[in-house]
Chains A and B, each alone.
Chain A
Amino acid sequence: MLLNASEMSRLVRTILSFWSTSLATEFEYKLNFLIELISTIGNLIGSIFILSLFYNDGHTLGGWTWSSALVVLGMYTILEGFTTIFLQPNLSRIVRHVQNGTLDFVLLKPVSSQLWLSFRLFSPWGFPSLLCGVCLIIYGSIKNETQFFSSSFLISSLLVFSSLIILYNIWFMLATTSIWFVKVWNVNEVLRSTLVAGRYPISAYPPILRVIFTFVLPIAFLTTIPAQGILGIASIDWIIGALSITLFSLFCSINLWRYALRFYTSASS
């Protein structure tokens, strides 16, 4: 599916106008910003505190130093922000569209339905998380005396980006299953609660969970590997692994959506 320049600019304009309208809607609820801010900071303090418990009396967590474990936590916090900004508002909508039969209207629009469903809404409440995550990563890397502006910068941004794409694809695939199972909005809750495992480096888990978190639910590629990239200790095998999983997940989510649409029979009509 190749797009020419005019189609591309139309797409960008469409998405930008989507976001400005949803921004306007969200700002109706200003008190939410305060609640979201308190909840982000409270959760962050709590997570750092729990992490610090593992480092009492000179113990370490899965061979990671304190400052490098903070980078993993920072990566997790960024993903949480990303989830709040895009994934949560858009993908929980899919379920409602299927339930109410309004997916018909989406399918009729002259925009790719996957794109429309994934980026229609935009919630600014994830930005505090995003910011906190970035701060945590910067703090952790400075403490860890990481060389910042080297070739590893490119690799680390690539790995962070691929982690965002993997997370998006997992969410989208789960949301897609609503075509068959209709009421799956709490699948998202299941995912969210399992992703909590990404707060800690993968090597902190027993071997069997490490395998699951690498190959079944790729939590390792969401937080640990990008953190390694940022710290400049990612090995080439893992980088290649991360990139291939990214492409594979993208391939799966696009095709699963196309496949699922064949089963969509429209509701309430």
Chain B
Amino acid sequence: MNYFTPNALLNNLKRKCLVYKVLLFTQYALMLEYRAEIALWVISGLLPLIMLSIWSQSYIITSIGWNNRMLVQYFLSAFIVRQFTAVWVMITFEQDNLEGKLSPFLLQPLTPFWRYFSSHIAEQMTRIPFVIFILFVFYLINPGLHLDFGIYSIVLGLISIFFAFLLRFLIHWIFAMVCFWSDRASAIERLLLIPYTFLSGLVAPLDIYPTAIRKFAYHTPYPYLVDFPSKVISGQNINISSGFTSISIWLFSLIVISIMAWKIGVKHYSGMGT
């Protein structure tokens, strides 16, 4: 059979699309089962709004030329970004690895990466109503709010959120490969959370950081996880194309690393627990 005729390629593509579609919808059904749990996860991501309430009480924000509206828009966007870039792949991957559940996945003609990836996407779909609800409550608490989100920035913002999610997912996926060697690899997640909290712009706008630290932060992937997408959504005057270029370079390098890490790791897999 010739695999490279246009017809065969098309069929192959069709089959793949079907597999991903089924995968996504079964995961979505699974996530809907646990929607109470997901509502709680949504609430646990309120940090940007808590920080917003402190920053809005402090006059220091005017020293970087931000007004209150910019501040509110930035942290509201950061809240949304944070919601749709949640990643827990290290925890489930460790569990599957320890309990030997990974073994049957490896036998299937589908790279396990997609299984974890689709479950994250499905979870995000489940989050949407809860996030809208929280934004609505926020609006009710702050009745005099004048917000001004452009449709153009929202569209670009959605793309940047997806890029940010990809970036964060890949970082965690690469570190999840440590599970092949150690049985408590998810502890590393605690370490990954530190730069994420303090260098991404989640708790304070990076503009307020001292120049040296800000410059350092922009040399890591972290500002592209919160700072960049939040500024895109809130319509701030930033260099969008250079931001997308940097995030793509990071994505490309991480994809290469993750493929290599997977290949090396899987060879080391011992099928524990089975």
Which residues on A are within 8 Å of B, measured CB to CB?
Answer: 29, 31-32, 35-36, 38-39, 42-43, 46, 49-50, 53-54, 56-57, 59, 61-62, 181, 183-184, 186-187, 189-190, 192-194, 196-197, 200, 204-206, 208-209
Contact = CB atoms under 8 A, between A and B. Distances in A.
B209 to A, nearest CB: 7
B238 interface: no
A54 B141 contact: no
B40 A189 contact: yes
B45 A42 contact: no
Contacts of A61: 54, 58
Given A35-B190, A38-B191, A59 B58 contact: yes
Contact of B58 (A39, A54, A183, A189): A54
Contacts of B198: 46, 49-50
Contacts of B141: 208
24 contacts: A29-B184, A31-B184, A32-B187, A35-B187, A35-B188, A35-B190, A36-B190, A39-B191, A43-B194, A43-B197, A46-B194, A46-B197, A46-B198, A59-B59, A183-B34, A186-B41, A189-B41, A190-B40, A190-B44, A193-B45, A196-B50, A205-B53, A206-B53, A206-B56
Given A32-B184, A39-B190, A56-B63, A204 B197 contact: no
A168 B188 CA distance: 27
Please report whether the interface of chain B is mostly helix, strand, loop or mixed according to DSSP.
Answer: helix
Contacts of B190: 35-36, 39
Interface in B139-184: 141, 182, 184
Contacts of A42: 191, 194
Please report whether the interface of chain A is mostly helix, strand, loop or mixed according to DSSP.
Answer: helix
Interface residues of B, number: 35
Contacts of B184: 29, 31-32
A35 B191 contact: yes
Contacts of A186: 37, 40-41, 44
Nearest to A45: B198
Contacts of A190: 40, 43-44
B73 to A, nearest CB: 17
B98 interface: no
B40 A187 contact: yes
